[in-house]
Chain A
Amino acid sequence: MKRWVVLALAAFLALPLAAQSVRGRLEGRIPSAAIPAVDSLIQFASQEGLPTDPLIQKALEGGAKHVPGPRIVAAVQVSLGQLRDARDLLVRAGDQPPVLPAEMTTVAWALRRGLAAPLVERVVAALARPPRAAAMHAVADLVAHRFDPDSAAQLIIEAVHDGVPRERLLEVSTAALQQVQRGHTRAEAFAIVRGQLPNLPASARPPRGNVAGARRLASPAPP
């Protein structure tokens, strides 16, 4: 009982602090008239257990592009709807609520990139949480390069089941792209890569010249 009181008190104190930090991030970056509306949408998201960072990012993007306030609010509202859709999809696919914010962000991003909801649902249902985001990136990568969406999802799911670690899933899509560049059809490329699983050729080390001039950002926002 005592623990619940402490948690409630902490939440009571943390919410206004979080709201204050959100306003701090928005002030000076978006039209001041739009801040209350954007802020209230972010509060809704927070209360529903949705991730708020994608909404803040969308508002900052609008502000940077000098978009009028009402359009920023509308875009944030669209993003909020996408996150709700993502949460519903995850629950439909079998995730137990509360759904993790990172999962919702990943699924919302995949839907935004044009992956069909049934396809995303299939990937989500087939894979456990940790490799899901990487798998979704790999499927989206393949679909963006005009591979058949269903075959792409199947290949990535097989790669995960065959033991390809999540940090190498993008190499599956890279390997398929390389086969196409060598003159194979997309179906042939999939067959070749499927035959190589789980031992994919290591991706090429970036050329020394590329790394030499690379700059490191002070604190890059996560993908």
Chain B
Amino acid sequence: MNVIDPRIHQALDGELASEAVPVELRRAVAQIAAAADLLAASPPGPAMSLESRVMAEIRRPAPSRAWRLIRWLVTPRAIILRVRPAWSVAFAAVVAALTLFTAGDEGPELAEHEGIAQFVGRFPEAQSVHVVGTFNDWRPGSIALEDQDHDGVWRATVVLPAGTYEYMFVVDGERWVPDHLAERLVADDFGRENSIVIVRPARR
């Protein structure tokens, strides 16, 4: 612990004349006296009372709407959500049902070697349209086309191994019609023409 020489105390208190202070202590006495003067001096500028500071804050111009909006958006807030357990269970059930429904709507998964064949034909007066070909052993009735909006355009989409197939439409179970929109027609050796569809492997 540093012990201040008692003669420094006496000099600072005015009990000891500066000439009487030994030379080696005079510098320390001068420094301490200067520091005491600095502390005793008042801060620069006029001192503000509490009242004037509050009034200055009140008189400050209000921030713009945009600034307030930004502050509102970036300020973190606590949200308290009160939910009845019955409602949360119902919400979870709805989400699960929607997920299942959407998953079912995506259709079958396609393997690397598989592709999609779309069969479309316009038969306004038809009651039923089927597609028959080498992909289903020419078995009538196995792939029905649908006309869901009753505009006379019948459609079916089938997953098939990639390759080339011959086919025809069977309208109302008895009328065999080639698909004239097909990429190619080929003689069927029975005096008619089969349509040809090329199923390209689908990339997923």
Contact = CB atoms under 8 A, between A and B. Distances in A.
Q: Do A and B bind each other?
A: yes
Interface of A: 57-58, 60-65, 67, 71, 74-75, 78-79, 109, 112-114, 137, 140-141, 144-145, 167, 170-171, 174, 202-206, 208, 210-217, 220-223
Interface stretch (B10-18, B55-63, B133-141): B133-141
Nearest to A54: B134
A149 B198 CA distance: 18
Contact of B160 (A62, A75, A220): A220
A222 to B, nearest CB: 6
A217 B115 CA distance: 12
A130 B118 CA distance: 28
B171 interface: no
Interface stretch (B31-39, B64-72, B185-193): B185-193
A171 B106 CA distance: 24
Nearest to B176: A65
B196 A113 contact: yes
Residue from B143, B158, B176 having most chain A Cβ neighbours under 10 A: B158
Interface in B112-164: 112-113, 115-116, 118, 132, 134-140, 142-143, 156-164
Interface residues of B, number: 48
Given A62-B190, A211-B157, A212-B107, 10 more contacts: A57-B134, A58-B189, A64-B140, A137-B198, A140-B164, A205-B204, A206-B110, A217-B136, A220-B161, A223-B163
A49 B113 CA distance: 28
Given A144-B183, A223-B163, A223-B199, A213 B157 contact: yes
Residue from A62, A210, A216, A220 having most chain B Cβ neighbours under 10 A: A220
B113 A75 contact: no
Contacts of A113: 184, 186, 196
Given A61-B138, A203-B203, A223-B165, A211 B113 contact: no
Interface of B: 105-108, 110, 112-113, 115-116, 118, 132, 134-140, 142-143, 156-166, 168, 176, 183-184, 186, 188-190, 192, 196, 198-204
16 contacts: A58-B189, A63-B138, A64-B132, A75-B189, A145-B183, A167-B112, A205-B204, A206-B110, A206-B116, A210-B118, A210-B157, A211-B106, A211-B116, A213-B157, A214-B107, A214-B116
B112 to A, nearest CB: 7
Contacts of B168: 65
Residue from B132, B164, B203 having most chain A Cβ neighbours under 10 A: B164
Contacts of B140: 64
Nearest to B112: A167
B4 to A, nearest CB: 89
Contacts of A65: 138, 168, 176, 188, 190, 192
A61 B163 CA distance: 19
B137 A78 contact: no
Nearest to B141: A64
Contacts of A62: 190
B164 A202 contact: no
Contact of A221 (B135, B158, B159): B135
A210 B114 CA distance: 14
Which 7 A-B pairs give the minimum distances between C-beta atoms?
Answer: A223-B163, A75-B189, A211-B107, A64-B138, A214-B157, A144-B184, A212-B107
A223 B162 contact: yes
Contact of B164 (A109, A204, A213, A217): A109
A103 B188 CA distance: 21
Given A167-B162, A210-B157, A211-B106, A221 B134 contact: yes
